[in-house]
Each structure stands twice: as structure tokens, then as C-alpha cells.
């Protein structure tokens, strides 16, 4: 019989810690779609002026990525990137994150010099660019539109259940404006979900940073097929793990772990997430044999012995 090519060797103490964390994961926060939010760090000074410098990082800056998926529509993402950071106060735009993240569980730190890089403010921006939202951002402004066969300059007065225009001395609605020309892209619209941090850096410019968070709309399941011979004296068991990703982003070249067991979530997400991170570090240190699996109570942890890519809006069976 064939076995699933998954597994991790777990110590009894590590698994015990895992059971404690499972009892602490937040049920309400993880089960909802992430909302936009602003979080001010408790240690940030009052009256911090807006950051004048900025930096942007995307998936191309990743140096490591790990994905731990639970069979209860929940996943832990750890995204490590190497970035260039200005000195002093600045804004960091962290792109290519899951649209289904719970922003209350986001944890950011420097792996190079954590004591000299501080988070002053955090925002999760998910107001994504589309034609209707772009038009709504131009209420009160002039646009070039087609008025019959002629291109004219029109003022967009409102966009409630349809645009209302002022063309010359007339108020016009209900016409097909055709192609519209927008002079620029509004600063508060994004082509993909983005984390925005206001940071204070007194360390080196080139740093390795890590962003971790919980996200929903990721799930896995195991399917088995038993094939017996004609005499039913022997059989082969084939097993496949199917992973579904509808989180809003893809995960390239990720270290994949799967957790089986019912999670109980009842405490604030910040506390549960920090403990979950600590538990995962212990598991990684205690799993030198990636193709072994050990169960403790009703919980099981499986580690894929190679890296894999999980595309957004996809369902795949990456390993037999």
C-alpha cells in the first residue's frame, strides 16, 4: 500500500504545545473576510508627522515563504523579503498579500536588526482598482468623455446609481459616455491587496523583514482510492492531498505544512497568533525527517518534503 508522501516527526512536548495553541485560535476573526483597518503601535510617539520617504516591496523580493494550512478554512502565512529601507520615518508598501487576511493578526519584524526597526502605524488597503471605483474617485473633477461624436470636457457631479455630468451649462445623465480619459490614478486605489506600514528605521538600509498573518479561504482535504485484485487477496491504496486556494494571492516556492484536527478559537487574535508562531518554530526545529508522520491525540502535522507553488483561484493535488 502506498502512503501519503507527507509528514513530520513531532516530539510529545511540541504536540502538547500545538494542542494548547489550537484551543486559543480566534473563531470569529479568522472566519470573516478581512476589513480595512488602521493600527497604531502602543509605543509610537504622539504627533508623528506623515512619512516623507517611501519604499515598496512585492513578491519578487521574497527570500522565504512558508504556508501552514489547517483543514478548517484557516492558514498561517510567513513571508520573508529582503528590502531596502530609508532611514528615519517612512512608509513601506508591502504588496502581494492575501485578500482574505485577518489584519488584526499581522505581525511585522526585522530579521536583520529588530531593535532598530519600529512599527508606528499599520494599514490594510483592499479598496481595489476597477472602473466603477475609479469613476467614483473623480466626483467633482473634470474628465474627457464622448458626447455623441465629439469629445468634450465634463464635470462628474455625482455617481450614485449612475453618473451625473455637467456639460457646459447642462446637467446630463443616462447617456453612454463611451471612452473616458482619466489624467491620473488616485493614490488610495490599489491594483492588489496591500499592507501599508509607517516605520522608523535607525538600522541598516538593506534588511531582511518578515510579515506573518492568518488568512482564510485556504483549505485542504485527503482522498483515497483502494484498488483490489480480482481475487480480493491484495490491494493498492492511493492517496492524494488536494489543496484549494481562494485567498486572493498565489504562493510561489513555499514550504507547505498541513494540519489535521478541529481548531477551537476563542481568544483575541493577537495573542493566539503570537503563540501559534512560537509553536510553528518549535515544530520546524523538531522535524528533521520530513516523510514521517506522528499523531498525538486527534491532531496530525504533515510537512511536504519539497517546496511547491500554490496559485490563486486554484485547486490542485500536489503530492500523492
Strand ranges of the sheet holding 117-125, from the earlier edge strand across to the other edge: 37-40, 117-125, 194-201, 88-95, 53-57
pLDDT tens digits, one per residue of 257-316 = 998 877 766 655 555 555 555 555 555 554 443 334 546 566 688 888 899 999 999 987
Task: Evaluate if residue 31 carries a pLDDT over 50.
Answer: no
Number of neighbours of residue 146 by Cβ within 10 angstroms: 16
Least confident of 37-46, 136-145, 304-313: 37-46
- Reading the block at residue 81, the C-alpha cell is 523579503
Phi, psi values for residue 299, rounded to 5°? -105, 145
Q: For residue 167, what is its C-alpha cell? A: 456639460
Q: How far from chain centre, in Å, is Cα 21?
A: 21
Taking alpha carbons only, the member of 283, 217, 274, 247 closest to residue 25 is 274
Give how far Cα 138 sits from Cα of 32, 150, 155, 187, 276, Å.
31, 21, 9, 12, 44
Residue 18: the pLDDT is: 40
145/20: higher pLDDT: 145
131's grid cell:
472602473
Asked if pLDDT for residue 44 goes beyond 50, the answer is no
Measured CA to CA, the distance from residue 108 to residue 120 in angstroms comes to 11
- 164 pLDDT more than 90: yes
User: Which residue ranges make up each domain of the chain?
Assistant: 12-128+190-319, 131-173
What separation in angstroms does the CA of 257 have from each of 16, 67, 93, 226, 305? 18, 6, 28, 25, 9
Whether residue 87 contacts residue 201, with contact meaning beta carbons closer than 8 Å, is answered with yes
- 293 φ/ψ angles, rounded to the nearest 5 degrees: -135, 135
Average pLDDT, the chain: 78
- Alpha-carbon distance of 254 to 116, in angstroms, equals 28
End-to-end CA gap in the chain: 12
Mean pLDDT of 221-242: 88
pLDDT tens digits, one per residue of 69-88: 998 899 999 999 999 999 99
Residue with cell 481548531: 263
DSSP the chain: ----S--B---HHHHHHHHHHHTTS-HHHHTS----EEEE-TTSPTTPPPP-EEEEE-GGGEEEEEEEEETTTEEEEEEEEEEE--SEEEEEEEES--TTB-GGG-EEEESS-GGGEEEEEEEEE--B--HHHHHHTTTTSEEEEEETTEEEEEEEEEESSSEEEEETTEEEESS---S-B-SS--TT-BSS-EEEEEEEE-S-SEEEEEEEEEE-SEEEEEEEEEEE-TTSS-EEEEEEEEEEE-SSS-EEEEEEEEEES-----S-HHHHHHHHHHHHHHHHHT---TT-B-EETTEEEEEEEEEEEE-TTEEEEEE-
CB of 48 closer than 8 Å to CB of 90: no
Rounded CA gap, 60 and 94, in Å? 11
Q: What are 205-225's pLDDT values in tens digits?
A: 999 999 999 999 999 988 888
User: So what's the pLDDT on residue 282?
Assistant: 52
Indicate if the pLDDT at residue 157 is higher than 90.
yes
Amino acid at each position: 500500500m502506498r502512503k501519503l508522501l507527507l509528514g513530520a516527526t513531532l516530539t510529545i512536548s511540541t504536540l502538547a504545545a500545538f494542542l494548547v495553541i489550537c484551543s486559543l485560535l480566534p473563531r470569529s476573526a479568522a472566519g470573516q473576510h478581512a476589513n480595512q483597518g488602521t493600527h497604531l503601535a502602543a509605543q509610537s510617539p504622539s504627533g508623528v508627522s506623515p512619512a516623507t520617504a517611501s519604499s515598496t516591496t512585492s513578491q519578487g523580493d521574497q527570500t522565504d515563504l512558508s504556508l501552514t494550512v489547517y483543514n478548517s478554512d484557516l492558514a498561517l502565512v510567513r513571508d520573508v523579503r529582503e528590502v531596502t529601507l530609508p532611514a528615519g520615518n517612512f512608509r513601506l508598501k508591502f504588496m502581494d498579500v492575501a485578500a482574505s487576511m485577518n489584519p488584526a493578526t499581522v505581525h511585522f519584524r526585522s530579521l536583520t536588526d529588530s531593535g532598530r526597526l519600529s512599527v508606528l502605524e499599520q494599514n490594510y488597503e483592499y479598496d481595489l482598482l476597477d472602473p466603477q471605483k475609479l469613476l467614483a474617485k473623480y466626483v467633482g473633477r473634470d474628465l474627457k468623455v464622448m458626447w455623441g461624436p465629439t469629445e468634450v470636457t465634463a464635470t462628474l457631479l455625482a455617481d450614485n446609481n449612475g453618473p451625473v455630468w455637467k456639460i457646459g451649462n447642462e446637467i446630463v445623465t443616462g447617456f453612454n459616455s463611451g471612452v473616458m480619459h482619466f489624467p491620473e490614478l488616485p493614490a488610495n486605489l490599489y491594483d492588489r491587496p496591500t499592507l501599508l506600514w509607517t516605520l522608523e528605521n535607525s538600522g541598516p538600509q538593506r534588511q531582511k523583514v518578515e510579515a506573518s498573518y492568518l488568512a482564510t479561504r485556504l483549505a485542504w482535504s485527503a482522498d483515497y482510492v483502494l484498488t483490489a485484485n480480482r481475487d480480493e487477496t491484495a490491494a493498492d491504496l492511493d492517496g492524494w492531498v488536494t489543496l484549494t486556494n481562494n485567498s486572493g494571492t498565489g504562493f510561489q516556492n513555499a514550504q507547505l505544512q498541513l494540519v489535521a484536527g478541529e481548531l477551537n478559537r476563542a481568544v483575541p487574535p493577537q495573542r493566539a497568533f503570537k503563540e501559534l508562531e512560537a509553536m510553528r518554530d518549535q515544530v520546524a526545529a523538531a522535524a528533521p525527517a520530513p516523510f514521517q508522520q506522528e499523531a498525538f491525540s486527534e491532531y496530525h502535522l504533515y510537512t511536504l518534503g519539497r517546496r511547491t507553488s500554490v496559485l490563486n483561484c486554484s485547486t490542485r493535488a500536489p503530492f500523492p
